[in-house]
Amino acid sequence: MDQGQMAKQIRVPQSAASFEYELFDGDPDNLRTVVASPTQILPYIDPAKLKLKHRIGRGTFGDVWLATHHQSADDFDEYHEVAVKMLPPMTEDLTQTFIERFEGLFLKCREIQGVCWLHGISIINGKICIAMKFYEGSIADRMAWLKGGKLDLSHVLRYGINLAKGLLQLHSIGLLVLNLKPSNFLVNDHDQLVLGDFGIPYLLLGIPLLNSDMILRLGTANYMAPEQWEPKIRGPISSETDSWGFGCSIVEMLTGVQPWFGKSSDEIYQSVVIKHEKPQVPVGLPPDVENVIIGCFEYDLRNRPLVKDILYAFESSLRAFNGDGEWIGLETRGLVEKSNHGGYTSWYLSKNPLQDGDTVRLRKPVNTCKPQTMDVHKGIVTGLDNGADKSGFALVKIAGVQNPLRVQESTLERVTDGFAVGDWVCIKEENDKSSSVGILHSVRRDGSVSVGFIGLETLWRGNSSELQMAKAYHVGQFIRLKENVVTPRFEWPRKRGGAWATGRISQVLPNGCLVVNFPGRLVLGDEPNSFLADPAEVEQVSFDNCAGVVEKYKHVEDFHWSIRPLTIALGVFTAMKLSMSIGRRVGAKLNKRQRRRGDQDGRVGSNATWLPPPFANIIFKEGVHTAAVR
């Protein structure tokens, strides 16, 4: 199908009609009629108005061409040099879906200064083409010309501020970039960083491409967060996903070395997703910058800083930076990589600040289902005392207690409609696309919530009335598939005899997906021993719910594969030991009897001389003459 036929079948917005007006030129009796066309604000561009020149780049999501965009009307005729991003081919219905998504964000993106200026969208040779302003160079181009391929700290701080501001604006309109890297950071005429990718990977979510040779990933492998690799399984992707890409980009700008340089995509996957490895952060940075960049590489996206936190760190560091290449008089917020409470990072704790009137309860430590033992279990905030170090205290009114208690704010969490961030919840109306059990990521005071579910690439958004509490799981628990599960969502091993095996939770992902190891299985070679589980399909296994001694022993075997052979060996050894003991006892008794019989024989033989002859003859049956007896 040629581009003309494709364009006819794809629904595109209609351009506004031209209009006439009377121009007053000094003489009211001689008004001049002028035909004018409205300024082009609709996204669709006639393919005939775009003339491709030559390709200037190639990326994960298509090629970039230098082109000319011809805009004309009765009152103007203009030619603009533009960069055209040509996406891989897709079916007509998916093309229509992408165009509709683009339309909804086109005007909003135009209002953002830190993002490349969009001219519009078109279809050329059956491929979607996005036309945007052409910029002479990128941050990656500048780095290539510098000795060592890296930027000075002052430039990194300034460009980082530009980048963070652009990201904040994109996030405010519901867009995620998911493809942050120096080659996508363009530089305008005022030496300011401009985002060259406004979120094309995010618009492509759920849209498969026709080109089977290209594996669609949500970003470029070297800069991808763990949840980007398998968002439906290890997700969801969120604004904190861009924080990881931001950190990778800053590290490259500071060192001149691309994260995971020299590794293949599969090797990066193993390093980032499976082994939980992180890019190396250079030493000697301003404390706030070092702290926030380290936070960007937290495996769990909920523990990463928001872009506003990154912006604050970079702005405060730049203000304290002196022109000689050193920073002086830095003011820090006292943020550290890990909080002192319950294993939560400071970034996690800062995302849900308390207000007067909030209902609060004790915050559960990470990877546990039981709250800490403290004086406060549930109450209402009556006042806040936030210090400069953000380790403030809250006054909490407890029922039955006369005076409010002063409690450290980091130990409390807000409760709205019975829910708090981090709770395990179940959606009341189940569906086939996603799991029914997930983890609550946010709950606003008006009852709106966002939840991570297996099977959804992004956060599910709804109201707290659509949810109910669910069974909570944490690291260290033993679980197995429920008996009524015939075809589980993920592969799961079986025991001898066909029953589902029991494993131990080693990790809980942000969407509730459980990473389970099986210490009770002996595996050889490359056979996997780590599996994933849907929390809606499993049940907890413990000694308390094991009926009978046999079931309890079977659960003991789940702790390590060596328990069964050790038990067997111990049983054999015990049996042998018992047999030997019994044998020795039986042998001893037999020997004792034999010794007794021998002793008796000896005593009888030695006493034959003094027995009277008749008795001796009778006992020993020796022949005796009858005459002698008489």
For the stretch 159-194, pLDDT in tens is 999 999 999 999 999 999 999 999 999 999 899 999
pTM: 0.81
User: For 379-446, what is the HEC assignment?
Assistant: EEEEEEECCCCCCCEEEEECCCCCCCEEEEHHHEEEEECCECCCCEEEECCCCCCCCCEEEEEEECCC
Residue 13 has pLDDT above 80, yes or no: no
Residue 252 has pLDDT above 90, yes or no: yes
Can you give the pLDDT at residue 390? 53
Residue 4 has pLDDT above 70, yes or no: no
Can you give the pLDDT at residue 437? 96
For the stretch 551-593, pLDDT in tens is 666 667 667 656 666 667 767 777 787 878 787 777 777 777 7
More confident residue, 77 or 597: 77
Residue 123 — very low, low, confident or very high, per pLDDT cuts 50/70/90?
very high
Q: Which helix (H) or strand (E) holds 479?
A: strand 478-481
**What's the whole-number mean pLDDT along residues 428-435?**
85
The CA distance from 232 to 227, in Å, is: 9
For the stretch 364-396, pLDDT in tens is 877 665 544 444 578 999 998 876 555 689 999
Report how far Cα 577 is from the mean position of its chain's Cα atoms. Answer: 54
Binding site per annotation, positions: 85
Please report, rounded to a whole number, the percentage of residues in the chain having pLDDT higher than 90: 46
**What's the whole-number mean pLDDT along residues 74-99?**
85
**What's the whole-number mean pLDDT along residues 423-433?**
88
For the stretch 313-327, pLDDT in tens is 999 999 887 555 555
* CB-side neighbour CA atoms (13 Å) of 400: 4
How much of the chain is helix, strand and coil, in % rounded to 5? Answer: 35, 25, 45
**What's the whole-number mean pLDDT along residues 187-213?**
81
**What's the whole-number mean pLDDT along residues 482-503?**
89
Can you give the pLDDT at residue 74? 63
Residue 333 has pLDDT above 50, yes or no: no
The CA distance from 480 to 541, in Å, is: 7
Can you give the pLDDT at residue 1? 44
**What's the whole-number mean pLDDT along residues 503-524?**
90
For the stretch 21-70, pLDDT in tens is 555 555 666 665 655 555 556 788 999 999 999 998 887 778 899 999 98
What is the spatial order of strands in the sheet that 62-73 belongs to? Answer: 50-59, 62-73, 76-86, 127-133, 118-124
Helices (H) and strands (E) in the chain, counts: 16, 27
Can you give the pLDDT at residue 267? 95
Q: Side chain identity at 88, as an amino acid letter?
A: P
Report how far Cα 594 is from the mean position of its chain's Cα atoms. Answer: 79
Residue 212 — very low, low, confident or very high, per pLDDT cuts 50/70/90?
very low
Residue 217 — very low, low, confident or very high, per pLDDT cuts 50/70/90?
low
Q: Which two tokens stand for residue 186?
A: 């363009």
Residue 335 has pLDDT above 70, yes or no: no
Binding site per annotation, positions for ATP: 85
Alpha carbon distances (Å) from 368 to 343, 396, 480, 547: 11, 24, 19, 25
**Is the separation of the CB atoms in 548 and 508 below 8 Å?**
no
Other CB atoms within a 10 A radius of the CB of residue 128 amount to 25
SS3 265: helix
Can you give the pLDDT at residue 314? 96
